[in-house]
Amino acid sequence: MSVLDTILENITDQVLDTGDTVVLKPVCFKCKTEKTIIVKAKELRAYKNGALIQRAFPNMSADDREILTSGMCGGCFDQMFGCGNGI
């Protein structure tokens, strides 16, 4: 289960069907930084209906997608998997 699935559990269908945009606030599990990601309600709806995250949110940055799937922000992800950047 991804972070986005957990967030979606707290968003009612009403919001998905009526709201223009939804503000997501995932927290990086590693550095505990809260990130603000604004998405379209209809994109969230598409994801909830089973679309892959990269298809549901085609304009989302890789960093935003990372924290919504793995729960890790871009910075922490780079630190863990980046190659030889001196950290």
- For residue 41, CA distances in Å to 14, 70, 73, 81, 87 come to 10, 21, 22, 32, 38
- Does residue 42 bind Zn ion (CB under 5 A)? no
Dihedrals phi, psi of 40, to nearest 5 degrees: -80, 140
30 contacts Zn ion (rule: CB under 5 A): yes
Q: Tell me: does residue 4 bind Zn ion (CB under 5 A).
A: no
Using rule CB under 5 A, residue 28 touches Zn ion: yes
Nearer to Zn ion, 41 or 60 (CB): 60
**Is residue 35 part of the contact set for Zn ion (CB under 5 A)?**
no
